Amino acid sequence: MPVYHFNIVDGVTLEDPVGFDCESDLDAKIKADLIAQQIAIDLDLDDETRCVVVVDERGAEIHKAPVKPYA
């Protein structure tokens, strides 16, 4: 199963050193959206723009999930 890394970006990049096994690019995108939702719930969002960037095994960025305020 391919390993995908889920980096948190908000002006600086917090790299995911371990990653997660995901069945496909779509599975990794869904996981990134869930991570972004959890960050929005856990953090008090300010004016910073945050997102979860998915990087595949080749190092290519395949998805960017914005962290939006939780409503």
Q: Is the pLDDT score of 57 beyond 80?
A: yes
Q: How far apart are CA 37 and CA 45, in angstroms?
A: 12
**DSSP type of residue 24:** S
Q: What are the residue boundaries of the structural domains of the chain, listed by start?
A: 3-66
Q: Give the 3-state secondary structure of residue 56.
A: coil
Q: Is the dihedral of CA 41, 43, 44, 45 positive or negative?
A: negative
Query: What is the per-residue pLDDT for 42?
Result: 79
pLDDT: which is higher, 40 or 25: 25
Give helix then strand counts, H and E, for the chain.
1, 5
